[in-house]
Amino acid sequence: MKNFGIKGLGIIGLTLGLTLSGCQSDSADTTRDTGTQADIESLRAAALAYQEAASSKDAAAVVSMYDETAIMIPPNAAIVDEGLAGVEDYQFGFIVTPGVSLAFELVRAEVAASGDIGWTFAIGNITIEREGEEPGRDVVRDFHTWKKQSDGSWKIVVDMWNSGMPAG
């Protein structure tokens, strides 16, 4: 894992900005290009499949949703930039921690006019059950950049999320 610092984060921010500027909203008028609407629908389906796998704590299914070149940007932690090997080694807290349940709401999905890249934004509500204590809660904001594969499926190339809980 590498710590990219301010310069690296600036590059990541620029990349995400360029990605977003070329995307079309799932609520945009797509009457001129039905292929783009089909791309949005397939991206939404991929995002919902990811959310289902995460909510059911299916680690193999979650990892299978990532591209070979994926990077992860977790909150208050080092960037995971070793591609799929790094994703496979990452300890997903919502999967490995007993008593954690997760429910997502897909807020938005967009696909670039080229149809080969898109992004999704979701809100995740986490509940942490602890014996003899009130349940812990967190709300995460989850942003994925997706790349369309040669078979038409979508895989995550950038996974960035944050937590509503304070650092430390």
Cα–Cα distances in Å, from 77 out to 12, 23, 56, 84, 164?
Answer: 15, 29, 24, 18, 15
Q: Which CATH class is domain 5-163?
A: alpha beta
- The answer to whether 72 and 85 have CB atoms below 8 angstroms apart is no
Neighbours of 2 (CB within 10 A): 11
Of 55, 78, 82, 79, residue with least CA distance to 66? 82
- The answer to whether 66 and 144 have CB atoms below 8 angstroms apart is no
93-131 tens-digit pLDDT: 888 888 889 999 999 999 999 999 999 999 999 998 988
11-58 tens-digit pLDDT: 455 455 545 445 444 444 433 444 589 999 999 999 999 999 999 999
